[in-house]
Amino acid sequence: MTTAPLVVLQHEGPIGRAYLTCLRRMGLRPATLILMVYEATPANDKQVGRWWPKKMRMAYAERMQDIQLNYWGRQLRKEFAGLVARMTHDCCDAADFCSDFHDEMYNKRWKYEDYAGRVRRVMVSGLGDSKLIDVVSGAAPAVVLYTGGGIVPQSLLSIAGARYLHIHPGVLPDVRGADGLLWSMLVRKRPAATCIYMAPGIDQGEVICTQEFEPLSFKIPYDEHPEDQDLYRAVYAYYDPIIRSRLLRSVFRLGADLGRFASKPQQDESAVTYRFMHPLIRQAALSQIFHE
């Protein structure tokens, strides 16, 4: 296993876990992983054990965010086993990943220490928390892999010596914003991903590389009848993480210094920023991915 000169800013959930699974299977371990442990539970935004001892509070909060932020990746397997089996098989086959990729992502015995040379847990209120700023500042200069958690504030982006890699599920700048994979299916008829060095603004920054992929279509078994909301959840639990991980693997295969990849500015005249889909538009996008 080779240690990569990389800091992973880990937001618990499918994207971050997919990245780490991908890197491990490439024989790479990030030098440092900074795990954001949120002070409030994701499900109801209630403070976690405010008066508990620090160590107990941290452990409980980490456990709760694992349960809640990885819930659908585990639950959909129980409710729609046939559909999920087809999705995981076809996604992994198309990306040339081992078929147990999602099994590893959602393993309840997951340990971050198995995926990085050093793990630092920081209890935060969000990406703008001063404690997080201090920890990332202490790791700089570094290339930081962003895995989600919201819009990155200027206070984090402006840390001297820190350069942030981000993989967006769409061609930039043509498909910026939310629901990138679904908007890509509607407006470009195929999934895509773009790797950038982050800059202030929504999905802005210099482009390192972009890839579009052959679209996949998943048959819904006759005895399973998911609602659109469940299909939407399935896309972001199984399909979207694979799209992003495919590009992450391509980026690391470039073989250059992670902070010095050749990159180019986005052409803003072609930029379109999309919002989360209205249910009727989402239905149209989902119909391109799932069929009876």
pLDDT digits (tens, 9 = 90+) for 126-135: 999 999 999 9
Query: Mean pLDDT over all residues of the chain?
Result: 96
- Asked, for residue 285, whether it belongs to a domain, the answer is no
- Asked, for residue 186, whether it belongs to a domain, the answer is no
- Beta carbons within 8 Å of 28's beta carbon, 6+ residues apart: 1, 2, 3, 4, 252
Could you list the residue range(s) of the whole structural domain that residue 68 is in? 2-168+193-214+225-270
Q: What is the pLDDT of residue 51?
A: 86
Mean of the pLDDT values across residues 142-162?
95
Q: Residue 141: is the preceding peptide bond cis (ω within 30°)?
A: yes
- Asked, for residue 122, whether it belongs to a domain, the answer is yes
- Asked, for residue 188, whether it belongs to a domain, the answer is no
CA 118 to centroid of chain Cα atoms? 20
- Asked, for residue 284, whether it belongs to a domain, the answer is no
> What is the domain-level CATH number for residue 57?
3.40.50
Q: What is the pLDDT of residue 268?
A: 85
What pLDDT digit, counting tens, does each position of 56-102 carry? 999 999 999 999 999 999 999 999 999 999 999 999 999 999 999 99
Q: What is the pLDDT of residue 1?
A: 87
**Residues 274, 180: Cα–Cα separation, whole Å:** 8
- Asked, for residue 282, whether it belongs to a domain, the answer is no
Q: State the chain's maximal CA–CA distance in angstroms.
A: 55
- State the total domains in the chain: 1
- Beta carbons within 8 Å of 254's beta carbon, 6+ residues apart: 209, 261
Retrieve residue 121's tokens: 């847990």
Question: Would you say the pTM of this structure is higher than 0.95?
Answer: yes
Q: What is the pLDDT of residue 255?
A: 82
The amino acid at 284 = A
- Asked, for residue 181, whether it belongs to a domain, the answer is no
- Asked, for residue 175, whether it belongs to a domain, the answer is no
Q: What is the pLDDT of residue 109?
A: 95
Q: Residue 5: is the preceding peptide bond cis (ω within 30°)?
A: no
Retrieve residue 234's tokens: 């399935």
